């Protein structure tokens, strides 16, 4: 067997002791203050804010359930999570201390993963891993294409409804992080999904590097143990409904923030300030 090529991107330096200390506040009484919490019913979506320096935890309160996550800069929604570049700079499935990066021309970490109760899942027999960046959200357009039927509670639709109160629209919904989802590529490179391994009380947590707006969908596929296309069709629809469960979200303020974050600074947008090789005509106001 030929040796594997090295990764295309070297790891970007990270202050792991800082993020380990942030994670440790989750197990110390009085180290955090709960400032927001809510449950997301099955097949629904909701958006919420997380301020820079806060910690957000997504939980499976009743057992396995996949969640589709979008993230934006709270003050400029043109800056949003970029799944493809995050795959390259981190890996195909998000792990502890990985970061979710924003799109061009910003290219900075929006959040950093600080805790994951499924961190020991590893690679299953099919080659699947958890917290998937390979695929994207289910949507009613693909559903119509494949099954010939309409269904309004796909993750894309759930996220669209969720962001409307914040002045965003369908065009702002973007490729997702599939939290708690196990997926991979088979021998021919085709995408596959496995049933969600989460149990009641499992969680995935991040530290906000800047003020962010998040939106989460409780996937209509539930734990993906009975995935299919077409509401009411055999192997999907009402069958999938039986494997759907809620998700929960908690947002925390760090109580010893000044001391804990003394070495932390909000990441700046990318330093590149060129004009992409364009030449300015000194005799014209146009490029």
77-126 tens-digit pLDDT: 999 999 999 999 999 999 999 999 999 999 999 999 999 999 999 999 99
Domain that holds residue 98: 16-260
175-226 tens-digit pLDDT: 999 999 999 999 999 999 999 999 999 999 999 999 999 999 999 999 999 8
Burial of 119 (0-12, 13-18, 19+ CB in 10 A): middle
Task: Classify residue 284: in a domain, yes or no.
Answer: no
Task: Classify residue 168: in a domain, yes or no.
Answer: yes
The token duo for 200 is 């009641």
Task: Classify residue 37: in a domain, yes or no.
Answer: yes
Contacts of 28 (CB under 8 A, 6+ apart): none
Task: Classify residue 117: in a domain, yes or no.
Answer: yes
* pLDDT for res 273: 87
Instruction: Please tell me the total count of domains within the chain.
Output: 1
Reported as a pLDDT band with limits 50, 70 and 90, residue 238 is low
Give the C-alpha separation, 75 to 210, whole Å.
10
Task: Classify residue 96: in a domain, yes or no.
Answer: yes
Question: What are the C-alpha distances in Å from 186 to residues 78, 138, 191?
Answer: 34, 20, 7
* pLDDT for res 281: 75
pTM for the whole thing?
A: 0.94
Task: Classify residue 90: in a domain, yes or no.
Answer: yes
- Nearest in space to 182 (alpha carbons), one of 137, 230, 223: 223
**Cβ proximity of 101 and 110 under 8 Å:** yes
> If DSSP codes are grouped into helix, strand and coil, which group holds residue 33?
strand
Task: Classify residue 267: in a domain, yes or no.
Answer: no
Give the C-alpha separation, 76 to 110, whole Å.
12
- Nearest in space to 204 (alpha carbons), one of 91, 89, 68: 68
> If DSSP codes are grouped into helix, strand and coil, which group holds residue 111?
strand
Reported as a pLDDT band with limits 50, 70 and 90, residue 227 is confident
Task: Classify residue 6: in a domain, yes or no.
Answer: no
Residue with tokens 């993750």: 155
**Cβ proximity of 226 and 64 under 8 Å:** no
């Amino acid at each position: 067997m030929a040796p594997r090529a090295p990764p295309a991107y070297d790891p970007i330096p990270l202050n792991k002791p800082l993020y380990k200390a942030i994670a440790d506040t989750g197990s110390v009484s009085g180290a955090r203050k709960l400032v927001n919490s809510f449950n997301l019913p099955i097949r629904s979506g909701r958006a919420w804010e997380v301020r820079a320096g806060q910690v957000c935890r997504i939980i499976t309160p009743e057992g396995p359930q996949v969640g589709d996550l979008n993230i934006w800069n709270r003050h400029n929604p043109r800056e949003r999570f970029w799944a493809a570049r995050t795959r390259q700079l981190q890996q195909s499935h998000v792990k502890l201390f990985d970061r979710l990066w924003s799109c061009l021309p910003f290219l900075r970490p929006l959040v950093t993963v600080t805790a994951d109760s499924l961190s020991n899942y590893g690679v299953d027999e099919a080659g699947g891993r958890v917290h998937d960046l390979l695929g994207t959200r289910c949507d009613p357009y693909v559903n119509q294409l494949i099954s010939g039927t309409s269904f309004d509670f796909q993750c894309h639709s759930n996220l669209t409804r969720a962001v409307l109160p914040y002045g965003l629209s369908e065009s702002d919904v973007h490729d997702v992080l599939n939290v708690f989802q196990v997926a991979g590529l088979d021998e021919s490179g085709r995408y596959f999904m496995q049933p969600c391994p989460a149990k009641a009380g499992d969680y995935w947590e991040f530290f906000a590097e800047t003020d962010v707006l998040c939106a989460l969908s409780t996937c209509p596929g539930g734990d993906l143990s009975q995935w299919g296309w077409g509401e009411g069709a055999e192997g999907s629809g009402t069958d999938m409904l039986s494997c759907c469960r809620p998700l929960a979200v908690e947002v925390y303020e760090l109580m010893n923030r000044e001391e804990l974050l003394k070495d932390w600074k909000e990441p700046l947008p990318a330093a590149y300030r060129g004009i992409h090789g364009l030449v300015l005509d000194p005799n014209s106001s146009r490029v």
